[in-house]
Amino acid sequence: MGRTEQARDRVSLEQVRRLATILDFDPGLFSDGDVLPLGWHVVLFPPMAAIGSLGRDGHPPKGSFLPDLGLPRRMFAGRRVEFHAPLRIGETTERHSRIADVSFREGRTGHMAFVTITHDLVGAGGSSLTETQTVVYREAATKGKAAPEKAAGKQTSSQQQEQPEFKVHQVVTPSPMHLFRYSAVTFNAHRIHYDAPYAREVEGYPGLVVNGGLTVLWLTELAKTLRNGPVASAEFSNRKALHVDRPIRLESRPAPGDPRTIDVRAVDDTGATATEGRLTWASE
């Protein structure tokens, strides 16, 4: 805990346009000097580990910044982002990262560790955003058994009555091309996103796993169509894996008790919530 890391990157127009194609936007709509769309900072600061140093799973080695906790598998569990000021395409930005917390617990599939990382991004106009990420470390997979899923909290009948229903806005079916392009634009070599035999035989999934960051972007783009104005914060949690060639429902509802907030979620083809999020707009 307490480890720090600094990096510099440029908000590349080419990278922004490549990401735009994955989301089915016209890449020609984006130019140097434009505000970087909300959440698109995922194209910044890709892992720059030499290919010879990557682990069997395709992840960069542990021990330099991310700690080596003796658990071979890791997965992105969630994030919270607080937005301070926009980044612009073409500008240079710095990232200041810190290991904020490490905790351990026993899960259904064995020992697990949760590492909390805080990233502060600073652009030409000062602090741009603060992102807190949670990465989960797990034991090696047992054949046929994939990542554990988070149990959804049970609601009382009164809570269910008070909360508005989710509305389906869009159904997306991620293809291998989505996963290939997103992995490429974020420089993500985790093999579960492009190596189907590895995903099935080693990590125990039924097929290729949709990048969690891509699902978050789909949900963010949905939320932006529902309300105007600057977003103050966004948080997302990945509850279970989504898989290629299976339809995903993108849904939303007004958050109970807060008119500035919208809840969003991605629901798989079995009706289970895979990713859930909440976006809060700045006060009007």
Q: How far apart are CA 200 and CA 145, in angstroms?
A: 9
pLDDT band at 139 (very low <50, low <70, confident <90, very high): confident
Give this prediction's pTM.
Answer: 0.89
Inter-residue contact 158 to 173 (CB < 8 Å): no
Domain range annotation of the chain: 4-281
Q: How far apart are CA 14 and CA 261, in angstroms?
A: 32
Q: What are phi and psi of 207, to 5 degrees?
A: 180, -165
- Report the pLDDT averaged over residues 57-68: 77
Which residues lie across from 172 on neighbouring strands?
Answer: 248
pLDDT at 146 over 90: no
- Report the pLDDT averaged over residues 74-95: 94
Tokens (6 digits) for 64: 């330099």
Q: To the nearest 10°, report the CA torsion of 256, 262, 263, 267.
A: 130
| pLDDT tens sequence across 85-137 | 999 999 999 999 999 888 888 777 678 788 899 999 999 989 999 999 998 88
Pairing of the two strands 126-138 and 167-172: unpaired
Q: How far apart are CA 79 and CA 136, in angstroms?
A: 12
Q: What are phi and psi of 67, to 5 degrees?
A: -70, 155
DSSP letter at 266 equals E
Inter-residue contact 124 to 34 (CB < 8 Å): no
Q: Is the dihedral of CA 111, 211, 226, 269 positive or negative?
A: negative
Spell out the residues 6+ positions from residue 19 whose beta carbon is closer than 8 angstroms to its own: 40, 42, 43, 185, 217
Q: What percent of the chain has pLDDT over 70?
A: 88
pLDDT at 217 over 90: yes
Apex 22 CA angle, 169 and 127, nearest 5: 90
Q: Which helix (H) or strand (E) holds 250?
A: strand 248-254
CATH for 4-281? 3.10.129.10
Tokens (6 digits) for 272: 């289970």
DSSP letter at 216 equals H
